Amino acid sequence: MKDVSFDFDGTLALPEVQSYAAELMKRGDVRVWVTTRRFPNKPGRNNLDLYKVTKKLGIPDSRITFCSLKYKYEVISKHPFIWHLDDDPQDLQALAKASEGNIKCIQYMPGGRWIGFCEKFLN
């Protein structure tokens, strides 16, 4: 099973990225994870938008990583993700360094070639 990670805000929150994540989940050999710097339960923020997307895609709660405002590299750099897709270049740079290049870090940009990079690293 191949594990891949999607940032939520600014990435998996977008329909274009959700469509690709749904395609990956249908393959059967890819496990989709979601990461967010949010807290799991912060007063005034109940994460309903995040849970709405993960339920629609069939991503179980056990594959949602709440970093609780820590940098993602502090939380996920040791996980054996093939790649992580994020819209934040600083998060990606820090994660690439902390994972010693083991997690391929791909920047999401609207209309960009990010899907091609995701596919390249999956094959």
* pLDDT given at position 112: 80
Taking the complete model, does pTM exceed 0.85, yes or no?
yes
Can you list the positions of beta strands (E) in 8-112? 30-36, 64-66, 83-86, 104-107
> Residue 110 is part of which domain span?
2-122
pLDDT at 60 over 60: yes
Is 121 within 8 Å of 104 (Cβ atoms)?
A: yes
Give me the percent of the chain exceeding a pLDDT of 70: 97
Is 98 within 8 Å of 77 (Cβ atoms)?
A: yes
Is 93 within 8 Å of 104 (Cβ atoms)?
A: no
Query: pLDDT higher for 78 or 46?
Result: 78
The per-residue pLDDT for range 70-108, each reduced to its tens digit, is: 999 999 999 999 999 999 999 999 999 999 999 999 999
- Residue 77 sits in a domain whose CATH number is 3.40.50.1000
Q: For the chain, how many structural domains are there in total?
A: 1
